[in-house]
Amino acid sequence: MRNLSYFIGVYLLAAASQADAQNLQCPDIAKTLKEYSIDSSSSSYLGAVFTQHCQSDGSRKSSGGGVGLDAVVKAIPLKFTGSYTTSDEGFSNFCKSYASHVSTSNASDSYKETISRKALETIQQCLTLQASGVIVTHEVSNVESANFYLRNSVTQKLMLEGISIAGDVSCTGQVNGSRKQFDSNISVDVKSTVSFACKRAGQANAVSSAKSFGEAIVTVLTNQGNYSLFWPRDERQSESMATAIDKRITAAEGDIAITKANVAPLVLATSMPIYKCPTGALAHYDAPWMYVGCNGQISSEKQCINYWYRDRQESRECVPIGNMRLFK
């Protein structure tokens, strides 16, 4: 019997990609939202869930059920769901507890809520297809690239009946060894798995050298149901600029390392006080000779001494004028 657990290599527009036919899964909610800096505990996500599944008075919507509730409710913080034994019970708890935190009049104002709502719809579509035995899913590689994967089942026939694209996106893939444009005209009988890649074009910003990517929707049309990826508008630094920034950071790190090496001796140096001594003697003795030790010199000693014959001496105080650094 042919082993169904194998890799099918598909050469795509930008690079070759592989999909494990047995390990295709629906997108993870938390991971999907994180791509757009949205946390599953944020008001954006929770507001989208509330709008989709709850009434403004905290009761459940009659149409709020369906496949995939378990995955959605698990992403909701426990403080809103409480303890529950079924997904329905968890949602009922959430609707009641979150009702006081949301205003349905502006639930659709936040673009992040739109992203969250579309992500929920995508996962719902995937789980519905999965319940019928087939898989259609995707993976966003970066702001401009996404890969799609389709897998049939032993009992269900899966037909790819076109790709609907809204936005500046183009998709390509391999069909029977030939590269094809995956658009509204594509038609493929998915014998085992099919993969294709989509690339979103961006508009360069002359001022910031960043690229702006417009909102796009890629919908996979099949005989078992449709699957849509909502690609939010975004603005990111281009890879070339990111590389240039990385090079500058690397160069700066090198300069910092050199500076640290040069500064280290300064940090480890010790300090010695320096004094300015007075000139001459204060007293006068009738002696054959004298030695004047106070000559206005700079010294590390606090005092200078003048000597006379037969051990007469005079000690004078020197004035501190600063410190001298001693390096090892």
Q: Tens digit of pLDDT per residue, the chain (328 long)?
A: 334 333 333 333 333 333 344 456 787 777 777 666 677 677 778 888 888 888 888 888 876 555 567 778 888 888 888 888 888 888 888 888 888 666 544 444 577 788 888 888 888 899 889 888 899 999 888 888 999 999 998 888 999 999 999 999 999 999 988 999 999 999 999 988 999 999 999 888 766 567 888 899 999 999 999 999 999 888 765 555 556 666 777 778 777 877 777 776 666 778 889 999 999 988 888 888 888 899 999 999 999 999 988 778 899 999 999 988 877 6
Q: Are 46 and 98 in contact (CB under 8 A)?
A: yes
Q: Are residues 155 and 186 in the same domain?
A: yes
Q: Are 169 and 184 in contact (CB under 8 A)?
A: no
Considering the domain boundaries, does residue 31 fall inside one? Answer: no
Q: Are residues 206 and 143 in the same domain?
A: yes
Q: Are residues 92 and 180 in the same domain?
A: no
Considering the domain boundaries, does residue 15 fall inside one? Answer: yes
Q: Are residues 198 and 179 in the same domain?
A: yes
Considering the domain boundaries, does residue 98 fall inside one? Answer: yes
**Quick one: pLDDT at residue 17?**
38
Q: Are residues 144 and 109 in the same domain?
A: no
> Which residue in the block uniquely carries the two structure tokens 């995955």?
71
Give the residue numbers spanning the domain of 90. Answer: 38-131
Tokens of 82: 């409480």
**Quick one: pLDDT at residue 56?**
83
**Quick one: pLDDT at residue 203?**
85
Considering the domain boundaries, does residue 1 fall inside one? Answer: no
Considering the domain boundaries, does residue 313 fall inside one? Answer: yes
- Strand 319-326 and strand 270-276: pairing? antiparallel
Please count the structural domains in the chain.
3
Q: Are residues 150 and 164 in the same domain?
A: yes
Q: Which of 113, 131, 149 marks a domain boundary?
A: 131
Considering the domain boundaries, does residue 243 fall inside one? Answer: yes
Q: What is the largest CA-CA distance in the chain?
A: 127
Q: Which of 80, 96, 131 marks a domain boundary?
A: 131
Instruction: Give 151's strand partners.
Output: 135, 193
Q: Which of 69, 99, 131 marks a domain boundary?
A: 131
Q: Are 136 and 193 in contact (CB under 8 A)?
A: no
Q: Are residues 164 and 202 in the same domain?
A: yes
Q: Are residues 12 and 152 in the same domain?
A: yes
Q: Are residues 176 and 247 in the same domain?
A: yes
Considering the domain boundaries, does residue 28 fall inside one? Answer: no
Q: Are residues 212 and 278 in the same domain?
A: no
Q: Are residues 127 and 45 in the same domain?
A: yes
Round to whole Å and give the CA distance between 100 and 216. Answer: 34
* Number of alpha carbons in the 13 Å side-chain half-sphere of residue 177: 0
Considering the domain boundaries, does residue 250 fall inside one? Answer: yes
Q: Are residues 303 and 253 in the same domain?
A: no
Round to whole Å and give the CA distance between 138 and 143. Answer: 14
